Amino acid sequence: MILAEIITIGDEILIGQIVDTNSAWIAHKLNEAGIRVKQITSVSDDKTHILEALKAASQRAQIIIITGGLGPTKDDITKITLAEYFNTGLKRDEATLLNVTRIFEKYNRPLLAVNVRQADVPANCTVLLNKNGTAPGMWFNHEDRIYISMPGVPFEMMYLVEDEVLPRLKEQFKLDSIVHQNILTAGIGESFLAEVISFVEDSLPPHIKLAYLPKLGQVKLRLSAYGGDETELNTEIKFYVDQIIALISEYVVTTEDKPLERVVLDFMENRSLTLSVAESCTGGYLSHLFTQHAGSSAVFLGGGITYSNDLKTKILGVLPNTLSTYGAVSEETVKEMAKGAIANFKSDYSVAISGVAGPGGGTEDKPVGTVWVAVTGKEKTIAKKFQFSGRRLQNIERAAVNALVLLFNILKEEHH
C-alpha cells in the first residue's frame, strides 16, 4: 500500500481564519486513486516548524504533499524552506516566468519584482505549470520519497492535482485498489449498533476495515477493502454489507454515499411526491437541508417559518384554543401545523417542528431541548416528542434530522 501525508502551511488555518478544505479534497482524490493517506498535518508559517514536519512525514509516507505558503509576500516561505530542506538553491524557471508575464499582461497590471520572483524555484524540482495562477507547483524526487508542493488557493491546487499530480503518481506507482461501501443508518445509537453487528465486525479479514462515522441522529458505517483485484474486493465487501443489513434493516436509510435529506428527496421524486414544511424552532434549517441540493424543487414546494403563535394561526390555521390550552410546543399544535401545511401549500406530505431550542424559554414540564415533530402523509398524521440536551444549534440540528427520519419512515410505510 502506497502511503501519503498531507501538510498544509499557513497561520490562517491555525488561528481559525480559514477552514482547511484542501486536505479533505486531496485525501479523497488520493483515496480514489488507491493511495492511502497516513496523516494530515497543519503547520504555521515558521521555517523550523515546516522542516520538522517534512522530516517526520518522510518517515511515515512515500508521498508528501504540501499546500500553501507559495505567494509573493514575505510570509510565504515554503520555497526557501524547501530549498534548505533539500540543501539546494533557487533557480529561475523560464516557463513559469512566461506564464506569470502572460497573466499580468492579460489583466493589464504592472509586473513587479516580487511577482517575477514567483518564477524562482528550488533547483532540484520539476516544475508543474500552474495555468490558473502565478505560483507553480513543484515536484521533488528525494531519497525514495516524492514531495509535491502546490499553492493553497483551492481552484489552483485542484487543477494541479487532477492535471499534473495524479497522472504522474499513477505512472510512477503500481497502485492498489481501494473499495468503500457505506451504510447510512438512523434511529439507532452508535454503541447499540456496534453491539448488534459485533460478530460481523469480528469476522472481517485484515484487509477490510469497518469505521463508525456518527452524526447527530445518524451513524454511517463505512466498509473499506484494500489491495487485490477491484472486482473481487467489491464481491467481498457486498458479502459483509448484506450480513450487516440483515441485522439492522429497520434502521438502514441507504447504501449510497448520500446525506439523509438527499435520500428523502430522491425517494419522493421517483414517486412524483411533493413536500412542504412548517418550521418553528428550527427557523428554516430543515428547508435549507433540502434546498442546498440541486433539483430539490421537483419535490420541495416550500412552507412557512411560523416562529410566533400569531403566524401559526394566520398561515397554518392552528386554532387559538389549541395554543392557549396545550402551548406551541405540544403534540396537538404540531399536528395542526402539519395538517395546515398540507391544506395551505397543497403538497402530498408535510413536516412540522415546534420546540424549545434554548438556551432560555424552558419550563419545568417543557425544558430546553423539548421538541415535537409531526408528519402528515397520504393516510395519517404521526407525531413524536424528542427530549434533546445541549446547545441551541445542536438542538436545531437534532430536530431537523429526526424530522427527516420520521418522514422517511412514513414514506417507506406508505410506499413499500
| Domain spans of the chain, in order of start | 3-172, 178-254, 260-414
pLDDT at 176: 85
Cα dist from 9 to 182, 216, 337, 407, whole Å: 32, 31, 51, 44
Main-chain phi, psi angles of 186, to 5 degrees: -145, 145
In this structure, the dihedral spanned by the alpha carbons of residues 279, 281, 285 and 286, taken in order and rounded to 10 degrees, is: -40
Instruction: Give the dihedral of Cα atoms 24, 26, 31, 37; nearest 10 deg.
Output: -80
Q: Which grid coordinates are listed for 1?
A: 500500500
Residue 94: how many CA atoms within 13 Å on its side-chain side?
A: 0
- Report the alpha-carbon distance of residue 190 to residue 148 in Å, rounded: 38
Tell me how far apart the terminal alpha carbons of the chain are, to the nearest angstrom.
43
The C-alpha atoms of residue 218 and residue 245 are separated, in whole angstroms, by: 15
CATH architecture label of 260-414: Alpha-Beta Complex (3.90)
Contact predicate 370/362, CB 8 Å: yes
Peptide bond into 205 cis (omega under 30): no
Inter-residue long-range contacts of 204-208, CB under 8 Å, 24+ positions, other chains counted: 204/240, 205/236, 208/236, 208/237, 208/240
pLDDT value, residue 27: 96
pLDDT (0 to 100) of residue 122: 97
The architecture (CATH level 2) of 178-254 comes to 2-Layer Sandwich (3.30)
Ranges of residues in the chain whose predicted pLDDT is under 50 = none
Q: Give the separation between CA 39 and CA 60, rounded to whole angstroms.
A: 8
Q: How far is CA 360 from the centre of its chain?
A: 31
pTM above 0.85, yes or no: no
Look up residue 244 and give its three cell numbers.
450487516
Sheet holding 349-355, edge to edge: 300-305, 275-279, 349-355, 370-376, 381-387
Give the rounded distance of the alpha carbon of 24 from its chain centre.
Answer: 9
Distance CA 269, CA 216 (A): 25
CATH 3.30.700.30 is right for the domain spanning 3-172: no
Pairing relation of β-strands 126-128 and 137-142? antiparallel
From the number of C-beta atoms within 10 Å of its C-beta (0-12, 13-18, 19+), residue 90 rates as: middle
The CA-atom distances, in angstroms, between 257 and each of 123, 193, 225 are 44, 19, 16
Radius of gyration of the chain (CA): 27
> What pLDDT, on the 0 to 100 scale, is given for residue 73?
80
C-alpha 74/C-alpha 51 separation (Å) is 18
**CA separation for the pair 208, 241 (Å, rounded):** 11
CB-side neighbour CA atoms (13 Å) of 262: 11
Give bridge partners of residue 254 from the DSSP assignment.
184
Residue 208 β-bridge partners: 225
163, 221 contact by CB (below 8 A): no
